[in-house]
Every structure is written in C-alpha cells, then in structure tokens.
C-alpha cells in the first residue's frame, strides 16, 4: 500500500471520528419554537416553562427564540398556527385542545408538544403509549368527573348540574363524552346538562339561560372558562350555585372548589418534552404523560356565602383552604 493511500485512509478515519463526536454533542445553534394558545398573553405559569427550559440549557435570547402566538378567539388559531409554520419553527407547544387541534391540522411534520385534556378520546393522538404522528405531551386527566365527585361531597344536595364547556375543546362533539361517563355520573345521583360557552362575552347571557332547576355548576377547563373565571364564579355566587372545576384558578376566583393537576409540574414536564425533541427525539417515540397528583383547593369563604358546611373530612384532604 502506498504512502498516499495510507495517508488518505488516515484522513478518512479522522473525518469519520470527528463526525461521530460532532453528532454526539448537541449542536450549538439557535432553536426556534412556537407557543400557541387561546389567551390574552403569558399566564402565571408560563415563566415556569421558560425557567425549566433554561435549566435544560435552552436560554431565551441566547440559544432559544420563542415565537409566541396568543389568540383572543378560537377562530384565530388556524392562521396563527400557519404563521408559526411560516416562521420555520423547530417545534410548536400548544396550550389547550383548540390550539392543539389547530397545530395538528396545520402541520404533519413539525413536532408538537401539547398540554390538553383527553387527547385520545378527542382524536388528537392514537394512544398515550404510542401517540403516532408528530404530537405528544401532557394528557390532562382530571377533566370533569373528579371535580364533580368533590362537588357532590361538599354540597350533597345538588342533583341538576350544568356543565359549562367550550364546543371547540370537543372536536367530536360533547355527546360521546357524556355517554362514556354516564354511568359514573348516575352513581352520583346527578343529572349533567351541557351548556356551551363559546365566548367570554357571552357569560351573562349563558347564565340567564340556565335551566331553572340548576343547583350546581361544573366548569370544563377550557381557555374560555379560565379567562372568564372571575365573571363565572361571581355569577355562580349570585345564583347561589356551588361551582367546581379542575383548573386551580377557579377556587381562587370565588368558585367553591378546584380539583386538578399541579400546573407547575405540568409546565416543567412540557419543557422536558421540548428538550428531548430538540435533542433529536421523535414525538411518536415519546409516550404522552398523565399527571397523577391532583390538588384540592376549597374556598370556605364562598361556602359560607352559599350557606354550606363543608365536611371536615373533605377539608382535611385539601391542599389549600381559602378563608
């Protein structure tokens, strides 16, 4: 073998080695991610998400750019999602079902990390273990029945409960969801009546149209309900309706109780998904996670206004009591 051949082989071997080393290390480049949600702007827990990304080495303004898109109305989501695609983001993070559906319908290639309730039942992913496609994330599980159980404990006399929901969060309609949970609802001796709230400006009109026998209120964790929570909880108190939901803001806004996931933990977990995908993981290979810890918050001030005596056994289970 000639010296030239030996030298050429050595150069090739060195190049292969250097290529392997470069591939084993995270590239020192700027990542661009999009954030899509129905909201008036970054909420209380968005900084938690940013902080966790920083802990993982993704620092906004240094090696990370976040394209934030906040929709005032659900109808704006498709165009905002398309705008993120045009911005050539590496990944999209979605908050809530409508934003997740908009992202799913807009791109089948850009990875999407979602925070959404019942993603399998709503057709967002194939299964928790094998999401398939380009989406994965945090599957919220507390939905409506867990808060309903707690509401029934706090106010045993309720029997006709209005379920306030946003139709956009149920792409397949509310009926299949009600049917699949009808047996559990019946065991509570409660009739659940779905009431649509499509816009925060319709809150008073919706309350005026509630059936006369309504004696309880259950809040689905839609972005609209969360945005209108002060108005909803205030109107519920005026109507003397014990109200509950799984978003932790509901109780602090004057509803009787909240029973839902730890939102700090959820946002940190979402950042973990982003980190893994930016480092090369594919969404289809990352099972969607279900938070297991639920926080119970009881507003005893509201209970007093409603003339309710919350059982001590339930108060003892609370993670927070508002007095």
Distance CA(169)–CA(94), nearest Å, equals 13
**Cβ-based burial of 208 (10 A; exposed 0-12, middle 13-18, buried ≥19):** exposed
**Cβ-based burial of 258 (10 A; exposed 0-12, middle 13-18, buried ≥19):** buried
Best CA proximity match to 34, nearest among 3, 80, 78: 80
Q: Where exactly does CATH 3.40.50.2300 map onto the chain?
A: 31-141+262-285, 145-261+294-322
Distance CA(301)–CA(39), nearest Å, equals 28
CA angle 83, 89, 90 (to 5 degrees): 150
Q: Is the pLDDT of residue 8 over 50?
A: no
Question: Residue 18: what pLDDT?
Answer: 40
Q: How many residues does the chain have?
A: 323
Q: And the tokens for 311?
A: 């059982």
| Average pLDDT value for the chain | 88
Q: Enumerate residues 6+ apart whose C-beta is below 8 A from 158.
A: 151, 152, 190, 215, 216, 242
Query: Which band of pLDDT confidence, cut at 50, 70 and 90, is reported for residue 15?
Result: very low
Largest CA distance in the chain: 97
Query: Which band of pLDDT confidence, cut at 50, 70 and 90, is reported for residue 144?
Result: low
Class of domain 145-261+294-322: alpha beta
Q: 269-299: per-residue pLDDT in tens?
A: 999 999 999 999 999 999 999 887 889 999 9
Class of domain 31-141+262-285: alpha beta
Distance CA(136)–CA(229), nearest Å, equals 28
Question: Residue 293: what pLDDT?
Answer: 80
Q: 255-264: per-residue pLDDT in tens?
A: 999 998 888 8
What per-residue string of b and e applies to 124-153 under the rule 16 or more CB within 10 Å gives b?
A: bbeeeeebebbbbbbbbbbbbbbbbbbbbe
Q: 21-61: per-residue pLDDT in tens?
A: 333 334 458 999 999 998 877 877 899 999 999 999 999 99
Q: 190-245: per-residue pLDDT in tens?
A: 999 999 999 889 999 999 999 999 999 999 888 889 889 999 999 999 999 999 99
* Confidence (pTM): 0.77
């Amino acid at each position: 073998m000639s010296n030239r051949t030996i030298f050429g082989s050595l150069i090739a071997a060195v190049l292969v080695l250097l290529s392997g080393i470069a591939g084993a290390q995270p590239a020192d480049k700027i990542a661009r991610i999009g954030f899509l949600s129905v909201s008036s702007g970054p909420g209380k827990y968005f900084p938690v998400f940013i902080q966790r990304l920083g802990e993982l080495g993704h620092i906004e303004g240094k090696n990370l750019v976040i394209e934030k898109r906040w929709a005032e109305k659900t109808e704006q989501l498709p165009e905002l999602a398309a705008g993120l695609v045009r911005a050539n983001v590496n990944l999209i993070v979605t908050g809530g079902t409508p934003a997740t559906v908009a992202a799913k319908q807009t791109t089948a290639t850009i990875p999407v990390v979602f925070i959404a309730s019942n993603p399998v039942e709503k057709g967002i992913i194939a299964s928790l273990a094998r999401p398939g496609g380009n989406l994965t994330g945090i599957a919220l599980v507390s939905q409506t029945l867990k808060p309903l159980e707690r509401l029934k404990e706090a106010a045993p006399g309720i029997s006709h409960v209005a379920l306030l929901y946003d139709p956009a969060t149920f792409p397949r309609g509310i009926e299949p969801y009600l049917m699949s949970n009808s047996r559990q609802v019946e065991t509570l001796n409660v009739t659940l009546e779905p009431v649509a709230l499509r816009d925060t400006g319709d809150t008073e009109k919706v309350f005026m149209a509630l059936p006369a026998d309504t004696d309880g209120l259950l809040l689905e964790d839609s972005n609209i309900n969360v945005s209108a929570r002060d108005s909803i909880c205030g109107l519920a108190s005026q109507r003397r309706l014990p109200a509950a939901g799984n978003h932790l803001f509901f109780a602090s806004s004057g509803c009787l109780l909240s029973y839902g996931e730890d939102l700090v933990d959820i946002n940190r977990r979402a950042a973990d998904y982003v980190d893994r995908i930016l480092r090369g993981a594919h969404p289809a290979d990352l099972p969607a996670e279900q938070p297991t810890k639920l926080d119970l918050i009881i507003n005893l001030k509201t209970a007093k206004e409603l003339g309710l005596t919350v059982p001590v056994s339930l108060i003892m289970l609370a993670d927070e009591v508002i007095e």
